[in-house]
Chains A and B, each alone.
Chain A
Amino acid sequence: MNSIITAQDLCLWYGQSQALKNINIQIPERSITALIGPSGCGKSTFLKTLNRMNDLINGVRITGTVEYNGTDIFSQDVNQLRKEVGMVFQKPNPFPMSIYDNVAYGPRTHGIRNKAQLDEIVERSLRDAAIWDEVKDRLKKNALGLSGGQQQRLCIARALAVQPKVLLMDEPTSALDPISTLKIEELATNLKETYTIVIVTHNMQQALRISDRTAFFLLGELVEYGDTEQIFSQPADKRTEDYVTGRFG
């Protein structure tokens, strides 16, 4: 498989404290890569580096390279990069607007004005995010009226509407009930036909259920990265073993 994202010797500092240490990783296209590890070990930081959301934080310094599709992400247009590398946040964060306007926000931002075309994108995105049937009769209603699980799927639909290639998900189910969690996991599994998914999760079972590759982070380092089954059954590193068997973290 081709790798769509490649990081080399990636280091990141928040002011004086180093949050990422020499990360080297190749993320394959159309697959699910899970990032696991204890809290504060740099998973979110790494994820936010990939769509340059860290740019917004004062005092962040980055060395090393990250390539998306063979080009350096730091020398390309950040808005174009974020259009192709979408993000779903830990806490569902729909805009305080109608369901329709939420999904149409991205396409409108990128210049699509035609009503019929927008209608089509909205429907397709909501279908892809497996929420169309639940909201098709209330597209004009405020999105904040949806349940947490529905809001998160709406956020996925909103991200899909700009037709990204990569979807970054930061613990997308940590605020959700088990049934909503299951729906999102199913959804992620279906989406990997078309998209590359990088997902941070605290839930070992979730990583095992849905991901193809798993990366184990510890204290800002990438300790081990490989096929999910192998990471969970025969980890090469003692620290990985301790973590996945629940002996710490």
Chain B
Amino acid sequence: MKKSSKLFEGFVHGIFLVLGLVTIACVLIITVYLVASGIPGIVEIGLTDFLFGDEWASTAAEPKYGILPFILTSIYGTLGAIIIGVPIGVLTAVYLAKIAPSSVKNVMGQMVSILAGIPSVVYGLVGMMVLVPGLRKLFDIPDGASLLAAIIVLAVMILPSIIKMSVTALEAVPQEYEDASLALGATAEETYFRVSLPAAKSGVAASVVLGVGRAIGEAMAVMMVAGNAPNMPDSLFQSVRFLTTAVASEMSYSSGLQRQALFSIALVLFVFIMLINALLNFFLKGEKKE
């Protein structure tokens, strides 16, 4: 009896180990594959020409493979989304975690969950049908599909994760801190902004990093609203192409060096995501230490 239960335990243990290994194997395979297929293109084009070349003309008679426009577009687009999305998200989180009556909190919490679950193609569709024409009329420009449209869509897309993680972090702030502040004569609002938020800062920072990760990796929605022309992003109204959409939009008909260059772009994107993950771990560790 004892022996067989031990055997069974070992068996279960083994299954879990295998399942864990599958995940690790996926990460390893993707990493190795991306590096292996991304390097040749970079070698052929030349690292500086590739990363800092400001023209992408993959189908020209004399093709050019500079991805600086895509890199800058991805960075600007993400920054823009953060600049709009973070204040809205964090303020909403403060409201939900500290101020809202529980009925409002429940309803809004549900809404945020729904927002998180909407597929990105739907965001793209609504952006295309509503936002793009709206911007065209509002700013009187020939085409509303632009960096600005992508920024707005991305800002909305990152809201749910920022709100949810920040609410969790704010709710975890011990009541004693807030009591201490109130007992000193601070108002409730002063307490939320000067005690609760600072005490929740690593969780809030992690939520922002998570938002950055989502924004930089998003392809479908931005493809539909950004215009997708490989321009340098010199203006908010420019039609632009992101790193993600650069890969997605040419992959189906590419060949030769063009195809290799697309893999190289994917590798660059992968490196970005890795850096963001490292940053996220850094913040989450900081939270544990405190």
Q: State the A residues within 8 Å of B (CB).
A: 51, 53, 56, 79-83, 86-87, 89, 91, 93-97, 105-106, 109-110, 144, 155, 158-159, 162
Name the B residues within 8 Å of A82 (CB-CB): 182-185
Q: State the B residues within 8 Å of A (CB).
A: 174, 176-177, 179-187, 190, 194-195, 198-199, 290
Whose C-beta in chain B lies nearest to the C-beta of A80? B185
Task: For B184, give its contact among A94, A106, A144 (CB under 8 Å).
Answer: A106
Say how far B101's CB is from chain A's closest CB, in angstroms: 11
Name the B residues within 8 Å of A105 (CB-CB): 181, 184, 186, 194-195
Supply 18 A–B pairs (Cβ within 8 Å), ascending by A.
Answer: A56-B182, A79-B186, A81-B185, A82-B182, A82-B185, A83-B184, A86-B183, A93-B177, A95-B177, A95-B195, A95-B199, A96-B198, A96-B290, A97-B198, A105-B186, A105-B194, A109-B194, A159-B183
In the bound assembly, the distance between CA atoms of A144 and B179 in angstroms comes to 17
Say how far A49's CB is from chain B's closest CB, in angstroms: 13
Contact call B184/A86, Cβ cutoff below 8 A: yes
Name the B residues within 8 Å of A94 (CB-CB): 180
Name the B residues within 8 Å of A89 (CB-CB): 176, 179-180, 183
Given contacts A105-B194, A109-B190, contact A158 B184 (CB under 8 A): yes
Contact call B180/A95, Cβ cutoff below 8 A: yes
In the bound assembly, the distance between CA atoms of A162 and B181 in angstroms comes to 12
Contact call A83/B195, Cβ cutoff below 8 A: no
Contact call A79/B180, Cβ cutoff below 8 A: no
Query: Among A96, A106, A162, which residue has the most Cβ atoms of chain B within 10 A?
Result: A96
Contact call A109/B184, Cβ cutoff below 8 A: yes
Given contacts A97-B198, A105-B194, contact A79 B177 (CB under 8 A): no
Contact call A79/B187, Cβ cutoff below 8 A: yes
Task: For A53, give its contact among B183, B186, B190 (CB under 8 Å).
Answer: B183
Say how far A88's CB is from chain B's closest CB, in angstroms: 9
Whose C-beta in chain B lies nearest to the C-beta of A84? B185
Contact call B180/A109, Cβ cutoff below 8 A: no
In the bound assembly, the distance between CA atoms of A110 and B194 in angstroms comes to 13
Whose C-beta in chain B lies nearest to the C-beta of A83? B185
Query: Among B179, B180, B187, which residue has the most Cβ atoms of chain A within 10 A?
Result: B180
Contact call B182/A91, Cβ cutoff below 8 A: no
In the bound assembly, the distance between CA atoms of A144 and B190 in angstroms comes to 22
In the bound assembly, the distance between CA atoms of A94 and B181 in angstroms comes to 10
Given contacts A96-B199, A96-B290, contact A162 B184 (CB under 8 A): yes
Give 10 A-B pairs besides A93-B176, A105-B181 with Cβ atoms closer than 8 angstroms.
A56-B179, A56-B182, A80-B185, A81-B185, A93-B179, A95-B180, A96-B290, A144-B290, A155-B180, A162-B184
Contact call B185/A159, Cβ cutoff below 8 A: no
Say how far A192's CB is from chain B's closest CB, in angstroms: 20
Contact call A109/B186, Cβ cutoff below 8 A: yes
Whose C-beta in chain A lies nearest to the C-beta of B174? A93
Name the A residues within 8 Å of B174 (CB-CB): 93
Say how far B52's CB is from chain A's closest CB, in angstroms: 42
Say how far A224's CB is from chain B's closest CB, in angstroms: 29
Query: Among A86, A89, A93, which residue has the most Cβ atoms of chain B within 10 A?
Result: A93
Contact call A109/B183, Cβ cutoff below 8 A: no
Name the B residues within 8 Å of A97 (CB-CB): 198
Say how far B89's CB is from chain A's closest CB, in angstroms: 23
**Shortest 3 CB-CB distances between A and B: which pairs?**
A83-B185, A93-B176, A87-B183
Name the B residues within 8 Å of A109 (CB-CB): 181, 184-186, 190, 194
Name the A residues within 8 Å of B190 (CB-CB): 109
Contact call B176/A91, Cβ cutoff below 8 A: yes
In the bound assembly, the distance between CA atoms of A159 and B183 in angstroms comes to 8
Contact call B177/A96, Cβ cutoff below 8 A: yes
In the bound assembly, the distance between CA atoms of A86 and B181 in angstroms comes to 11
Whose C-beta in chain B lies nearest to the C-beta of A88? B183
Contact call B185/A110, Cβ cutoff below 8 A: yes
Say how far A148's CB is from chain B's closest CB, in angstroms: 14
Say how far A153's CB is from chain B's closest CB, in angstroms: 14
Given contacts A109-B190, A109-B194, contact A93 B185 (CB under 8 A): no
Query: Among B177, B179, B182, B187, which residue has the most Cβ atoms of chain A within 10 A?
Result: B182
Say how far B243's CB is from chain A's closest CB, in angstroms: 38
Name the B residues within 8 Å of A51 (CB-CB): 183
In the bound assembly, the distance between CA atoms of A56 and B180 in angstroms comes to 13
Name the A residues within 8 Å of B184 (CB-CB): 82-83, 86, 105-106, 109, 158-159, 162
In the bound assembly, the distance between CA atoms of A109 and B187 in angstroms comes to 9
Contact call A53/B182, Cβ cutoff below 8 A: yes
Say how far A9's CB is from chain B's closest CB, in angstroms: 26
Name the A residues within 8 Å of B182 (CB-CB): 53, 56, 82
